[in-house]
Amino acid sequence: GIATHRKSAFPLLHYFMSLDSASTPVLDEASFVVIEDQESDEDTSEFEVIGDAADSDSSDEEEDQQSNKFQGIRPTWVPDASVTQCTRCELPFTFFRRRHHCRFCGRIFCNKCCHVQASYPVWFGYDSPQRVCEECIPQLFDCRQQSDVPESASISIVRCTSSPQISRDGFQTSGEEVLSFPLRFLHPLCRFAFWFSGMYEGGSFNRTFLNTAANMNLPFIGDPVKSIIRTMVPVPKQWPSYGDDSWETYSVSNIEEPEMSEIPVFIFTPLTTSTRPLPVLIWFHGGGFCLGSAENMVYQTICRSLAHRTHCIVVSVEYRLAPEFKFPTQVEDAFAALKWVHEKALAFGGDPERLAVGGDSAGGSLSAVVSILARERKFPVPLRHQLLVYPCITNPLTDDLDSHVKYIEGPVLSRTVCDWFMRQVFDDIEEGLKHPFASPLHLESHHDLPPATIINAKHDPLCDHGKLYAQKLRKDGVPATRSVYRKSLHGFFGSGIGESTEALVEASSALRNAFSLPNADIFDEESFVNVPVEVISLAEDVIDEENATNALSL
């Protein structure tokens, strides 16, 4: 991990390992161990051993308290008096445009350019999420994934109970496992919604209630985008079932005279003045293969945010759901959408050579399987990345994993709900879950798959799925990073609650790296002041199935 300050770099881990072993550790009041009289060949002028800088509007007493509480290796802060404008956007500070220090580089930014709060690696010494500027976001998330610390290394800080930590199984955003307070209300609400929709044995299932609650489609929700376009992808009306012991998979081209149907996709195009083709993320929504929709407010928020922050086109796929359509319909619909995007990308401003897949929950599972299918079916271009947000990678109905047992009653995703989902998806649940496309964790080989970013919630029975899949990918030489949001539950991604924003920023940072997009390519709204109003107004259009002017003819 590299921490930067004024375009200079400082390798923190190397700094720790270079500390004089004879230094005397002193235990302070906050249970941090700080090295005294350190000696190093490295130039440490950019960093201080104690965190003596407090927020700009903190009192001297608060500064002393923070200095005692937060001990660690941190960048030297730029003095408030030396800066009158934001380092990034260069706009002057005012009463409403407040100044904030980036805790990663120490420079001063406005509240717009430094509004993201994220958990820092252990050596910074913070025990809660801190501000990070837009310029340092990629370095911070890269730094968080440095888990190969030698056991013999002399680390100068021992974390507090609640401090972010690094483990061999991925970055843990906190030492605590206390669920964020607002998220505690989701469990009873979801239980009522599931019961009301008939999602339990003996009930008559009707997803209308859930769709009505989720499909508010408020135009002001989420980050601004240039346009949201609805179009259709051709698919067979019925995909053939896989053989009992066959790896044979199908496509439109090798089904004899298929009766055709269509599935909708929604194309989110970011605000941009560039005429170059943009990379494309194909997004699959969650919902246990039975619920959810690309039109849901949560998924509109996710797609808007990823398009805006990553500066890529997001194609959200409305694959067909169970129980009306059984496995492998969801898998084949997803792969058909990927093929369609590759063939038609140039028509909607996308780059067919830079494609990635992503999704949450069931959508994360589809992303993992589609990545495997792309390898098996010799997809024309290698996928750049797979973004897996709390995916289901193996049978969720066993007691084989600790998270299955610990969170058997939820919150939100209980064993009962998982069992109901699986019974809708498979005609024979026991045999269906044995198929490698239903349980990609047990695939014989994971070689030659795209790099992966795995995001897990701690309070989730699927938490250990991400852990095991990351281990499998790394074992077969596939780069894989994993973060565990320890104050979150299944479904937090895109909710706007607790650690949701931090997770979205991590996802967009990973995609931006995968697409080789530098920070300079991130959209700056200030550059759009003189853009014609009719172009910007498209960003606020609501997706309208009947609106022919907002449809794309391909």
pLDDT at 536: 27
Cβ burial, residue 483 (10 Å; 0-12/13-18/19+):
buried
| Given 460, 488, 500, 509, the catalytic residue | 460
Residues 208-228, mean pLDDT to the nearest whole number: 73
| Given 490, 495, 500, 508, the catalytic residue | 490
Q: How far apart are CA 343 and CA 261, in angstroms?
A: 18
Q: How far apart are CA 349 and CA 276, in angstroms?
A: 8
Q: Is 406 left (phi over 0), alpha (psi -120 to 50) or beta?
A: alpha
- Say which amino acid occupies 344: K
pLDDT tier at 531, thresholds 50, 70, 90: very low
- Say which amino acid occupies 525: E
Residue 447 annotated in active site: no
Q: How far apart are CA 386 and CA 145, in angstroms?
A: 17
With vertex at residue 285, the alpha carbon angle to CA 548 and CA 495, rounded to the nearest 5 degrees, is: 105
CB neighbours of 541 closer than 8 A, spacing ≥ 6? 219, 227, 228, 547, 550
- Say which amino acid occupies 316: S
Asked whether the predicted pLDDT for residue 500 surpasses 60, the reply is yes
| pTM of the shown model | 0.80
Contact 498, 487 (CB under 8 A): yes
Domains and their CATH numbers in the chain: 2-164 (3.30.40.10), 181-520 (3.40.50.1820)
pLDDT digits over 322-366, tens only? 999 999 999 999 999 999 999 999 999 999 999 999 999 999 999
pLDDT digits over 289-318, tens only? 999 999 888 999 999 999 999 999 999 999
b (16+ CB within 10 A) / e for 30-40: bebebbeebee
pLDDT at 406: 96
Residue 459 annotated in active site: no
Strands (E), 6-101: 8-11, 25-27, 33-35, 47-50, 71-75, 99-101
The DSSP bridge partners found for residue 236 are 260
Q: How far apart are CA 269 and CA 280, in angstroms?
A: 9
Please state the three-class secondary structure of 467-518 as a single string.
Answer: HHHHHHHHHCCCCEEEEEEEEEECCCCCCCCCCHHHHHHHHHHHHHHHCCCC
Residue 100 annotated in active site: no
| Given 156, 293, 316, 361, the catalytic residue | 361
Closest CA to 336 of 255, 415, 421, 396: 255
Within a 13 Å sphere around the CA of 344, how many CA atoms are in the beta-carbon half? 19
Q: What is the CA radius of gyration of the chain?
A: 24
